[in-house]
Structure 1
Amino acid sequence: MSTIPATFASDEPAHRWREPSRSVATRRYAQTPQWSGRSFIVEPNDNREILTESELEAKAALILLARPDCARLFEQPAPVPYRDHEGVRRTHTFDFLLMLKSGRRIAVAVKPKAIADKHGTKALITLIARQMEPAFADGALLMTDAMMPRADVQNGRLIHDARRLPDPELDARVRGVAEELNGASTIACIVRTAGLEHHDQGFSAVARAIGDGILVPTRRGLIDLDMMVRRAVPGGPP
């Protein structure tokens, strides 16, 4: 790989803070939730607030937003009508609606595994998914805490924070290195080859490249300077 000279066109900041737009959730949160952990995350694609009612929902949102195939994420979408096992008409509001870059839409329910197992939530979500209008979603997903390892949550937070402060020039440098990458390399090596080892946002630029699917980790685990990554193959597996 050829080393790219570390020259920058301007000392002006590449990013400026913008006030996020309001949430578009269709349901108001309860005034006194049993497990209070309300917070909001800014959707980096359109600079919009995503409100979460629990810590588990916030973790799920970070993981979903970090997916390279995520185009948009909406919380508390419109209620879905369905008939239960007794034929009674009911409605269900999913926690998120995940819109993929392919155009597919996935309704996402988030529950602690113990509660989901106790109340048969997986069977309920399957029942609702069979009755959903295709215009609303193509499928449904139940996410539990068992599907959210600490490393995935931390990686999601890292990618989210990196996307909040984009730098097109740094991103172009990392893309240039990725395009020439043969085999796997550590993130530290990519930062160094891009001429960003002395830039405080060099690591963040690589995190954005991972979040955008330009670079792919070779194993599960925490994204750090020692993480091995490879160039993504267009149309290939992630």
Structure 2
Amino acid sequence: MKPVAATYYLPEPAKSRAVLPIPKSSQGHFVGEFVFGIEKPQRVGFASFLEFTTAICTVYLPGFVDLQEQLAPVAFRKANGDIGHHYLDYRATFRNGLRIGIAVKPSHIAKKPEFRAEMQAVAQAAVPAVIDKLAIVTEQNINPVDLFNAKLFHAARRPVFCEDEAIREIRKKLPGPVTVEHLLTEGRSAGVTLFGVARAIHGQGLKLLRKERIALSALVAANDMVVCQ
């Protein structure tokens, strides 16, 4: 018998914490907000498509806790001796307490010596008061598989309690590695979907055995299962 689906309503998300305002709209630019988090949802803004992909990939990294955009400006000394101010695009915080400042730039800008020198000066000024380390992210750092899976995790983030419980029961009986398609077939009568499997993978009840998109052919196993590869 198929269980009645449960609907999970997210609380009202907290407003963006950006110190430097992000435009609500901009002709020719990809700007906007998305919401991360379940119990305490939080809005986070982006001012370009590269910022969006950076942010959503960061939010679904293992151990992620928080992401804040457009922090208060960091004062740093320029090469000519003047004082400059830089707004970090993001600061990601992880469960182990690590705070990573993120500067998002297209690769043709990020590789310029003057930009690299400025980022080094910003890092020297910001560590350890504001961040623990600084990362420069370009489009070359966005892995297509990670981006695909992060978007899926995001779309599937709302719990569906009956489905999630059904997946936990299937997980206990797994004889070994199986495909996502196998899980969907086993759980069809219980309403198991690709979104439910994605939640189980992100929640670490299941694990991907290869770096691949979460699709029907993807190979998964129970997270506590020892798999010889």
TM normalised by structure 2 equals: 0.83
1:64 aligns with 2:62: no
Which residue number corresponds to residue 184 of structure 1?
A: 177
Identity %: 27
Supply the RMSD in Å over aligned alpha carbons. Answer: 2.8
Which residue number corresponds to residue 144 of structure 2?
A: 150
Which residue number corresponds to residue 227 of structure 1?
A: 218
**CA deviations over 1:164-187 (Å, ceiling 9, x no partner):** x22233223334444555653212
Matches within 5 A, 1:41-120: 41-45=34-38, 46-118=40-112, 120=114
1:212 aligns with 2:203: yes
Amino acid at match of 1:99: T
Give distance in 2, aligned partners of 1:162 and 1:31.
26
1:15 aligns with 2:26: no
For the structure 1 residues 186 and 125, does the alpha-carbon distance in structure 2 shift closer, same or farther, using more than 3 Å as the test?
farther
**CA deviations over 1:14-57 (Å, ceiling 9, x no partner):** 21254433211111136886851112111124222211111111
1:124 aligns with 2:124: no
Give distance in 2, aligned partners of 1:77 and 1:90.
15
Give distance in 2, aligned partners of 1:135 and 1:181.
47
1:67–1:211 Cα contact (<8 Å) kept:
no
1:26–1:77 Cα contact (<8 Å) kept:
yes
Q: Mark the runs of 5 or more structure 1 residues left unpaired by the alignment.
A: 1-5
**CA deviations over 1:127-161 (Å, ceiling 9, x no partner):** 32233242421111111101113332222111111
1:82–1:90 Cα contact (<8 Å) kept:
yes
Give distance in 2, aligned partners of 1:118 and 1:31.
30
- What secondary structure does 2:120 align onto? helix
Which residue number corresponds to residue 28 of structure 1?
A: 21
- What secondary structure does 1:40 align onto? strand
Shift of 1:92: 1.3
Give distance in 2, aligned partners of 1:182 and 1:88.
65
- What secondary structure does 1:24 align onto? coil
Shift of 1:192: 3.4
**CA deviations over 1:73-107 (Å, ceiling 9, x no partner):** 11112222222334432221111111111221111
Amino acid at match of 2:57: I
Aligned length: 224
TM normalised by structure 1 equals: 0.80
Shift of 1:118: 3.1
For the structure 1 residues 185 and 26, does the alpha-carbon distance in structure 2 shift closer, same or farther, using more than 3 Å as the test?
same
